[in-house]
Amino acid sequence: MQIVDQSGKNTLPIGVFDSGIGGLTVARELMRQLPDENIIYFGDTARLPYGSKSRDNIIRFSRQIIRFLVSKQAKAIVIACNTASALALDVVKQEFDVPIVGVIVPGARAAVRESVNHRIGVVGTESTIRSQAYTKAIRSMESDAVVIGKACPLFVPLVEEGFAKHNVTGEIIDYYLRDFVESQIDTMILGCTHYPLLRSRIREYLGDRVQIVNPAYEAAMDVKAILEKEQSVNDSGNLARYEFYVSDAAEKFKQFANSILPYDVETIRKINIDEY
């Protein structure tokens, strides 16, 4: 997408990426909170899952994707992937001129605000949990917080395979979240962009006493603040345009996108991300 703006960068798109469809939950929130902004989304479906990959590879993938989004003139980038936010954000922020927002700090901030007893659970990929990124972010805001993390690697394929409502998903939720039932957490961060697609199942399992936090809303608010600060809010009055790219299996991605987003996506383009 080449959006030419005579007056500056305001109509240029926000670039959003994730390892797959999960980041659409963040894109959906950006569409709700910033309805005038154009968005370019990239899902790295050829290299998913990110959650079990090494830090070096996640940094390499993130650099390539940011280069692609910058080539599309993104005025800001949202790393809508907790794993890439946890492992690559600090590095890529130093390397690119464009503002880059991750989802960990916004998610931690929302959880600290919600929690009354300062006992916070975090579910995420193996890499995100191992990195302790949420624990560090939460403790920097609330030093006495108790953070209990749990990697739930099977949640991503369940979502990618469309098993959100399936019985087997209930058993896997029980397997992973059983320890939280006695843990007295009052807040649970969905620290992987795929997990909001299991939100109602997780809520049902944990009960009303646990607030579920999806970092997407808070991340959208951070993007809004950055655009305002940079004076790059899209105030053209034009209808927002959305474009979607993947590194593999565009048709499958399209079906999911259409079940997650509030409108039907017509075109998903497959690109070779290794060229970037």
Measured from the CB atom, the residue of 12 and 273 that comes closer to ligand DGL is 273
Which one of 45, 83, 187, 247 is in contact with ligand DGL (CB under 6 A)?
83
Cross-strand bridge partners of residue 242? 39
Please choose, out of 19-27, 111-119, 165-173, 230-238, the segment that lies near ligand DGL by the rule CB under 6 A: 19-27
Which one of 19, 135, 214, 234 is in contact with ligand DGL (CB under 6 A)?
19
Measured from the CB atom, the residue of 51 and 99 that comes closer to ligand DGL is 51
Q: Which helix (H) or strand (E) holds 82?
A: helix 82-95
**Strand ranges (E), the chain:** 14-18, 39-43, 76-79, 100-101, 119-124, 146-151, 187-191, 211-213, 242-246, 268-270
Q: Does 43 engage in binding with ligand DGL (CB under 6 A)? A: no
Which one of 15, 43, 51, 99 is in contact with ligand DGL (CB under 6 A)?
51
Site string (172-211) toward ligand DGL, x via CB under 6 A: --------------------xxx-----------------
What span, in angstroms and rounded, lies between the C-alpha atoms of 87 and 56? Answer: 9
**196 DSSP 8-state letter:** G
CB proximity list for 112: less than 8 A, separation 6 or greater: 120, 138, 141, 142, 145
Q: Does 59 engage in binding with ligand DGL (CB under 6 A)? A: no
CB of 220 to ligand DGL, least distance (A): 15
Tokens linked to 245: 């790219």
Please choose, out of 60-68, 75-83, 219-227, 258-266, the segment that lies near ligand DGL by the rule CB under 6 A: 75-83
Residue with structure tokens 């474009």? Answer: 243
Which one of 40, 110, 156, 206 is in contact with ligand DGL (CB under 6 A)?
156
Query: In this structure, are strands 100-101 and 119-124 parallel, antiparallel, or unpaired?
Result: unpaired
Q: Does 50 engage in binding with ligand DGL (CB under 6 A)? A: yes
The residue type of 1 is: M
Active site residue 152: no
Measured from the CB atom, the residue of 83 and 234 that comes closer to ligand DGL is 83
What span, in angstroms and rounded, lies between the C-alpha atoms of 80 and 82? Answer: 7
What span, in angstroms and rounded, lies between the C-alpha atoms of 242 and 253? Answer: 15
The residue type of 190 is: L
CB of 256 to ligand DGL, least distance (A): 13
CB of 36 to ligand DGL, least distance (A): 26
Report yes or no: 193 and 80 within 8 Å, Cβ to Cβ: yes
Query: Phi and psi dihedrals of 4, rounded to 5?
Result: -90, 125
Which one from 81, 89, 173, 226 is the annotated catalytic residue? 81
Q: Alpha-carbon torsion 93, 64, 244, 126, what sign? A: negative
Measured from the CB atom, the residue of 80 and 120 that comes closer to ligand DGL is 80
Site string (96-135) toward ligand DGL, x via CB under 6 A: -----------------------------x--x-------
Q: Which residues are catalytic?
A: 81, 192
Judged by the rule CB under 6 A, the positions of this chain that interact with ligand DGL are: 18-20, 22, 48-51, 81-83, 125, 128, 156, 192-194
